[in-house]
Amino acid sequence: MSGPVAVRVGPVSWRSRPRTYAVGAAVWLLALAAGLGVLGSGSTPLTAAEVWGALTGSESASVVFLVRELRLPRALTGVVVGASLAVAGSLFQALTRNSLGSPDIIGLTSGAATGAVVGIVVVGSFGWGTAVAATAGCLATVLVTWALVPRGAGG
């Protein structure tokens, strides 16, 4: 494949790499194949034809329920959560300008865990309250880390 391609539409221009789109499409096809495999596997294995019939509604009610109500939401959740974690990791690495950067390196994971523990033990929260406390702990850690970094460090 060739190098970057410049695209211009009026005053807006950007560069894109065809390889990036090819790799993205291959990853999504792999995720789709894995998701379809998950829909057919389990304590009641289903053939590909049964899975397709359940998705189109031409299969028995029990198979449609099994696929659409039990397995499909789990498969979609797995794909969405995995994609979200990949985007979050990419953003973190881009913002820190470190290809090996991860939240645990600068203590964000520990800050979130501390916030969750404080929310559970001190406030007595659960569910969403714990998630909010973990987010607050992570943000507090970000602010402390940002305040401690000398200006001009890290280029």
Phi, psi of 149 (to 5 degrees): -75, 125
Average pLDDT over residues 85-111: 84
Between 155 and 134, the more confident residue is 134
State both tokens at 44. Answer: 């009641």
pLDDT for position 30:
92
pLDDT for position 5:
83
β strands within the chain, DSSP E: 5-9, 12-16
**Contact criterion met (CB below 8 Å) for 118 and 132:** no
**How far is the C-alpha of 83 from the C-alpha of 123, rounded, in Å?**
33
pLDDT for position 104:
78
Between 155 and 79, the more confident residue is 79
Average pLDDT over residues 79-106: 84
pLDDT of 11 higher than 80: yes
Element (H, E) at 26: helix 18-40
pLDDT of 99 higher than 60: yes
Provide the pLDDT confidence category of residue 4 given band limits of 50, 70 and 90. Answer: confident
Average pLDDT over residues 108-116: 92
Rounded to two decimals, the pTM is: 0.64
pLDDT of 152 higher than 80: no
Q: Which residues have CB under 8 Å from 107's CB, separation 6+?
A: 141, 145
The SS3 assignment for 6 reads strand
**Contact criterion met (CB below 8 Å) for 142 and 149:** no
Nearest-10 crossing angle of helices 72-96, 18-40: 150
| Average pLDDT for the chain | 88
Q: Which residues have CB under 8 Å from 140's CB, separation 6+?
A: 111, 115
pLDDT for position 2:
65
Least confident of 5-9, 39-43, 133-137: 5-9
